A and B are shown apart, each in its own frame.
Chain A
Amino acid sequence: MNGGSEKAADLRKSAEQGGKPCPFLELGDLRPALKPRERFSERFMPPRNGMLVFDPSRCTGCGTCEMVCGMRNVSRVAPASASVRVLRNGAEGRNFAVHCQHCRKPLCLEACPTRAISRGEDGIVRIDRIFCTGCGLCTMACPEAAPLRDPATQTIRKCDLCDGDPLCARNCPEGALTYTRGKAFRWIKGLRWTVQTLSFLLLVVILVGTFCFFRAGVVSLSCPTGTLQNIASTKTVILSTVLSALALVVLTLLAGRLFCGWICPFGFVLDLVGKVVPAKVRPPRWFANRLNKYGVLAGAVGGSFALGYQAFCTVCPIGTLCRSYGVQGFFRSAELAIVPALAALEVTERRSWCRYLCPVGALLALVASAGLIKIVIGAKKCKKFSCIQCAEVCPMGIIDGDLLREGVSPKVPMKECISCFRCVDRCPYGAAKIRFRWQKGIPGEGRP
């Protein structure tokens, strides 16, 4: 027994007799302990998993995190026994703290031969000391090599987030390591569902048949794809109709395919169906091609040109939904069958109709490619292996999670983006942002 352990034992004894709750918080007392902010929303929502976030621009390489972490691990100041390691780069003046990210699908868990690593309900990946043999295969499997080998005892040290109150984050003098639980309240989500519900009620129930064409006094709105077909079938251009179609085009130029994500009644149905139906079936290659929808658009316009009437509009699920309500609508039940038929496509991928087939979306996609806004995702601010929630929630599947894992900021094609802003809403670290097209900065990387 050396002196350090004896002192630790004394401290532990005093703690048991009703002293401080944890004997190793001595260093924490140097600074006023940050009280975890209790938010109003947390009373109604289950607690979210916490996460250590590291800001390299603030780190001075002082090594306090290593010190307190080693203090917790072996109850003496031993930075080599810490679960966090600061890589110091004096030449460039940049430091980096390597620590466990607590992946959602941990590679170390897969690789451990004795199954000593487990991921708890609280999202913390822990090593069970009883089963750990210190073989170091977790270090070999981790893309970041975050499990560290203690040179004194040859055991593996890995962060366990101090069971939800990390000492390193609490003691970091510069605030480079912080502990966060992400956003408490996702206001975009609530707003989007409200707008979607209201627009569904407005377009389908209150004003029957409004999406395709709507007129109230001088204000008139119409479906741009329907207008194209109308021009093709009648071979005459009516200026007022074209102008009324332009309203949606202007909206798309300003805010991307906001119509698809926020207003479209069929999109609302698809979102509701997607809440229930799991996406499991893999679609065939020929179907899962995003260029298909342009083919459908060309076919619809060409078809109306050849047939002389708007053939596609009779089976368009958006239009059918809009015309379905009321006495008149019940007679169209055969026509209405297209809605559940296309909603059943949700078993393949989320919003597969919007991705691959919708001609309205195709026209808006052409417009949105010249739009005003874009979505940027900064890989440096993102937690990569532990998160990738943006790629998971994206209904159009356009965010490349593999690229994010690699540490490269993916480019989000605004042509395919339906501006639902789920990624922006979901990202706990503020890495996904809405930007104007001409803005160059990426979150976490600064301006070039």
Chain B
Amino acid sequence: MTEENNRLSQVKRFSGAAFCVECGRCVAVCPMAEMYGNFSIEMSPRGIIRKALTEGAEILRDENLWYCTECNAGTDVCPQGVSCRDLVRGLREMVLEEGRAETVASCRHCGKPFAALPVERFVFRRLEKEPMNVLVFLEYCPSCRRALYSRRNA
């Protein structure tokens, strides 16, 4: 447990989460608000930061951690230099190292996790009109997809 707490504080320090002043700018620019109908304060970057600061390791068991697309929007606008992207990425890495991979989509070819499940579901929902043979590409991670594409065309 202490190791987990050490790691958690390391992630928090690396992302500068302790400097958050809860101004809400990251929530204002967050693309998740447009992506998900159930967007909530718990899901927003501010909610994740607050939970990571106040409840510690509880955040690792929270499914709201997996909606983020790890974009630069919140990091870019933060007046305090908090990188919510790095925080979410670090927290997700911790969960994956524990071996709980049920919340991520893994590449069909190399097996590496490459996207959170809600994010992948969003992409599939946006592309549901596309033919099936195009959608099968989405089950591979980007680097494998590039390699497969080149193998078929080179």
Contact A87 B131 (CB under 8 A): no
Closest CB-CB distance, A216 to chain B, in whole Å? 53
Contact A113 B31 (CB under 8 A): yes
A145 and B123 in contact, given A98-B150, A140-B138 (Cβ under 8 angstroms): no
Q: With CB as the reference atom, state the residue of chain A lying closest to B149.
A: A144
Contact B71 A141 (CB under 8 A): no
Contact A145 B143 (CB under 8 A): yes
Q: Does A440 touch B at the CB level, under 8 Å?
A: no
Closest CB-CB distance, B115 to chain A, in whole Å? 6
Selected from B31, B70, B146, B154, the residue in CB contact (under 8 A) with A94 is: B154
Selected from B76, B143, B154, the residue in CB contact (under 8 A) with A96 is: B154
- Give A127-169 interface residues, CB cut-off 8 Å to B: 133-137, 139-145, 154-155
Complex Cα distance, B150 from A85, in Å, reads: 11
- Give B119-154 interface residues, CB cut-off 8 Å to A: 119-120, 122-123, 126-127, 130-131, 133-134, 137-138, 142-143, 145-147, 149-150, 152-154
Closest CB-CB distance, B84 to chain A, in whole Å? 12
Selected from A136, A139, A143, A155, the residue in CB contact (under 8 A) with B134 is: A143
Question: A402 — which chain B residues lie within 8 A by C-beta?
Answer: 131, 133-134
A135 and B126 in contact, given A145-B146, A405-B134, A406-B133 (Cβ under 8 angstroms): no
Q: With CB as the reference atom, state the residue of chain A lying closest to B35.
A: A113
Question: A339 — which chain B residues lie within 8 A by C-beta?
Answer: none
Question: A142 — which chain B residues lie within 8 A by C-beta?
Answer: 145
Q: Does B72 touch A at the CB level, under 8 Å?
A: yes
Complex Cα distance, B153 from A380, in Å, reads: 5
Contact A87 B29 (CB under 8 A): no
Complex Cα distance, B146 from A134, in Å, reads: 19
Q: Does A308 touch B at the CB level, under 8 Å?
A: no
Closest CB-CB distance, A134 to chain B, in whole Å? 4
Selected from B69, B142, B143, the residue in CB contact (under 8 A) with A135 is: B69
Question: B137 — which chain A residues lie within 8 A by C-beta?
Answer: 143-144
Question: A143 — which chain B residues lie within 8 A by C-beta?
Answer: 134, 137-138, 145, 149
- Give A374-417 interface residues, CB cut-off 8 Å to B: 380, 385, 402-403, 405-407
Contact A111 B123 (CB under 8 A): yes
Contact A140 B147 (CB under 8 A): no
Q: With CB as the reference atom, state the residue of chain B lying closest to A381.
A: B153
A136 and B150 in contact, given A110-B126, A141-B138 (Cβ under 8 angstroms): no
Question: B138 — which chain A residues lie within 8 A by C-beta?
Answer: 140-141, 143
Main SS of chain A's interface residues?
mixed
- Give chain B's interface residue range (CB within 8 Å of chain A): 35 or more
Q: Does A114 touch B at the CB level, under 8 Å?
A: yes
Q: Does A64 touch B at the CB level, under 8 Å?
A: no
Q: Does B73 touch A at the CB level, under 8 Å?
A: yes
Closest CB-CB distance, B93 to chain A, in whole Å? 16
Contact A407 B69 (CB under 8 A): no
Contact B153 A56 (CB under 8 A): yes
Selected from B69, B76, B131, the residue in CB contact (under 8 A) with A137 is: B69
Contact A140 B146 (CB under 8 A): no
A111 and B127 in contact, given A139-B142, A140-B115 (Cβ under 8 angstroms): yes
A140 and B131 in contact, given A113-B31, A135-B71, A145-B143 (Cβ under 8 angstroms): no
Closest CB-CB distance, B33 to chain A, in whole Å? 9
A140 and B150 in contact, given A113-B31, A135-B31, A135-B70 (Cβ under 8 angstroms): no
Question: A255 — which chain B residues lie within 8 A by C-beta?
Answer: none
Selected from A95, A107, A385, the residue in CB contact (under 8 A) with B127 is: A107
Complex Cα distance, B154 from A89, in Å, reads: 10
Contact A134 B131 (CB under 8 A): no
Q: Does B58 touch A at the CB level, under 8 Å?
A: no
Q: Does B3 touch A at the CB level, under 8 Å?
A: no
- Give A289-312 interface residues, CB cut-off 8 Å to B: none
Contact B122 A85 (CB under 8 A): no
* Extra A-B contacts (19), CB below 8 Å, given A56-B150, A98-B149, A133-B29: A56-B154, A89-B150, A94-B150, A96-B154, A110-B127, A114-B31, A133-B31, A136-B69, A136-B71, A137-B123, A139-B142, A143-B149, A145-B142, A145-B143, A154-B72, A385-B134, A402-B134, A406-B133, A406-B134
15 contacts between A and B (CB under 8 A): A56-B150, A87-B150, A94-B150, A96-B149, A110-B126, A113-B69, A133-B73, A134-B71, A135-B69, A137-B122, A141-B127, A145-B146, A380-B153, A402-B134, A406-B133
| Chain B positions near chain A (C-beta within 8 angstroms) | 29, 31-32, 34-35, 69-73, 76, 85, 114-115, 119-120, 122-123, 126-127, 130-131, 133-134, 137-138, 142-143, 145-147, 149-150, 152-154
| Chain A positions near chain B (C-beta within 8 angstroms) | 56, 85, 87, 89, 94-96, 98, 107, 110-111, 113-114, 133-137, 139-145, 154-155, 380, 385, 402-403, 405-407
Closest 3 CB pairs of A and B: A135-B71, A96-B150, A145-B142
